[in-house]
A and B are shown apart, each in its own frame.
Chain A
Amino acid sequence: MKKIIFVLAVLIFGLDALAQTPKQVLYNCYYKFSKLNDFKADAAIHFDVPGLNMKQANGKILYRKPNKFRIKLMGIAFLPKQNPFESINGLADTNTYVAVSIGNEKINQVSLEIINIIPLNQGDLITGKFWVNRAENLIYQYELTTRSSGTVMINQKMGEQKIHALPDEIKFTFDVSKFKIPKGIAMDINSAKKKSLDNRKTGTIIMNFAKFVLNKKIKDIEFTEE
């Protein structure tokens, strides 16, 4: 009897999951994340960008629903233009985009469904591609093609805050144009040493998060850039 109930349950929930449209899948991911109002965490940021030579930067990441976001650092840093959580919040209104499931892919032993979205309005986003785990309602990876910044791939490594749809690590991979300052402007004349040119066309920024503080109200002033 127990076996029959189990098989029925698997079939019912399995069929229910299969019955979800791509929009519903994306909405469920948004809904899971939307339960979080505020959070902050320590951030360690690693840079691997052609033309940029800098050590790890440490700071804090602050977020408040729906789109307040800041990476608070002490010194100079180059940061991604995108608020990584803005795209997830953008999935809330399912009437603003078309979603199409285009297949499945296994990334780091996790089976993911690939859903493409095309916005219906003429905003900055041209197209988006999400790698989603239906069972967990989690987005593990997404690729955004925007008018202002080209294509950005965002990988999320889930960890201890998986239940809140918060990653332990976010990796941004983005297009970079060749970095070159005219020697006259850099006043780098008569250089004694020539480095081998870095001809890579993409850069990555990896943010590792720790010490999360969830749903504790963050003051507005903390989001203001100094």
Chain B
Amino acid sequence: MYPSFIQLLRAEIIKIFSRKRSFIGFAAIAAVVFLIQLAMYVDGENYIGLITQSIEQSIKLSGHIVTGNMVCFIILQTLIIQMPLLVALVTGDLISGEAQSGTIRLLLTKPVSREKILFVKFVAGLIYVIALILFLGILSYPLSLLIFGNGDMMVLKSDELVILQSADTVWRFIGAFFIAFLSLTVVSSLSLMLSCFTNNSITPIITTMSIIILFTIIGTLDVPIFETLKQFLFTTHMIIWRNLFDNPINISFISKSIGVLTAQIALFYGISHYYFSKKRHHWIIV
């Protein structure tokens, strides 16, 4: 009997969540979120005072500053840069892990096309990403609103403070989580692609992490020769969610980044598809 897509997907999801490693991401997210919430609860006003002190020489700040919206933004700002590493930890060995343990041979003996197997693994990776984003979303948004209350949002940027009305924030956060999902899907696709190239489960994980760190460093360097290169790095476009909190929003700028991220997902998945389905790997021939 041919296993259905759902059966294969269920098996992949069980595989992912049966590994302790898969829960490191959730634990790390919970720890960071609670630490930021605790810090902001205890010392949030002082932290904001430090930021606004230069502007408060002439005018005074009025109103409830440390709101759930603001705390959620700070959490996202801190975590979304680190989350790709947590995703790579799980999606980096979706193929290579099975190649190393030998279970890929068993999987390929089933009457299922390789394309389908790869697609199932890709979707399983997406589901893991969605689970991480939902977990982050619930801990950082509703919980922060519950602890700190709703209210206008002060967006901290290095060159300006943006004040958004509370009613104007919900859709921005939904957009931010969507862009975070796209960004992490790029990482998931990249690690899946690297995972196809080797039968060592650690190599694609470490390589993906190294690429993320390297790209992030290049992104922080204000050197003219890197300016063109930066346009092609997914790490440059991963942080575009922050521009959803601008006023006014530069729609074309954000759309371009969404386009680049989507294209990179397609590119990485396309290479994986080509390599996995057309090439004869030694772990299949043996």
Contacts and interface: CB of A to CB of B under 8 A. Distances in A.
Contact of B158 (A74, A175, A182): A182
Interface size class on chain B is 35 or more
Contacts of B154: 76
A209 B131 CA distance: 50
A18 to B, nearest CB: 39
Contacts of B152: 74-76
B257 A195 contact: no
B158 to A, nearest CB: 4
Contacts of A80: 59-60
A145 interface: no
Interface residues of A, number: 44
Most buried by A among B51, B57, B156, B235: B57
B78 interface: yes
Nearest to B231: A192
A90 B222 CA distance: 52
A149 B60 CA distance: 10
A79 B157 contact: no
Interface string A191-207: 11101011000010100
Interface string A63-75: 0000000010111
Interface in A63-120: 71, 73-81
A2 to B, nearest CB: 56
Contacts of A158: none
A211 interface: no
Contacts of B219: 190
A19 interface: no
Contacts of A193: 243, 250, 253
Interface in B156-211: 156-163, 165-166
Q: Is the interface of A mostly helix, strand, loop or mixed?
A: loop
Interface stretch (A28-36, A50-58, A128-136): A50-58
Contacts of A198: 160
A180 B220 CA distance: 17
A189 interface: yes
B51 A76 contact: no
B109 interface: no
Contacts of B243: 192-193
Contacts of B54: 51, 177-180
Nearest to B250: A193
Interface in A18-64: 49, 51-55
Contacts of A74: 63, 152
B236 A190 contact: yes
Given A54-B162, A190-B219, A78 B81 contact: no
Interface in B71-114: 74, 77-78, 81
Contacts, number: 140
Contacts of A81: 58-60
A181 to B, nearest CB: 5
Given A186-B51, A187-B78, A55 B165 contact: yes
A75 B64 CA distance: 7
Contacts of B161: 51-54, 179
Given A81-B59, A174-B59, A177-B57, A52 B159 contact: no
B157 A49 contact: no
B166 to A, nearest CB: 7
Contacts of B228: none
Contacts of B55: 49, 51-52, 78, 176-177, 179
B220 A189 contact: yes
Given A76-B63, A81-B59, A149-B57, 20 more contacts: A51-B161, A53-B162, A55-B163, A73-B63, A75-B163, A76-B62, A76-B151, A78-B59, A78-B60, A150-B57, A177-B58, A179-B54, A179-B160, A179-B161, A185-B51, A188-B77, A190-B239, A191-B158, A195-B160, A203-B59
Interface of B: 50-51, 54-55, 57-65, 74, 77-78, 81, 151-154, 156-163, 165-166, 216, 219-220, 235-237, 239-240, 242-243, 246-247, 250, 253, 257
Q: What 10 A-B pairs are tightest by C-beta distance, nearest first? A: A75-B152, A54-B163, A76-B63, A76-B152, A190-B219, A188-B158, A53-B162, A187-B77, A78-B59, A174-B58
19 contacts: A51-B160, A54-B162, A75-B152, A75-B163, A76-B151, A79-B59, A179-B159, A179-B161, A185-B51, A186-B156, A188-B157, A189-B81, A190-B235, A192-B243, A193-B243, A193-B250, A195-B159, A195-B160, A203-B59
Interface of A: 49, 51-55, 71, 73-81, 149-150, 152, 174-183, 185-193, 195, 197-198, 203, 205, 225
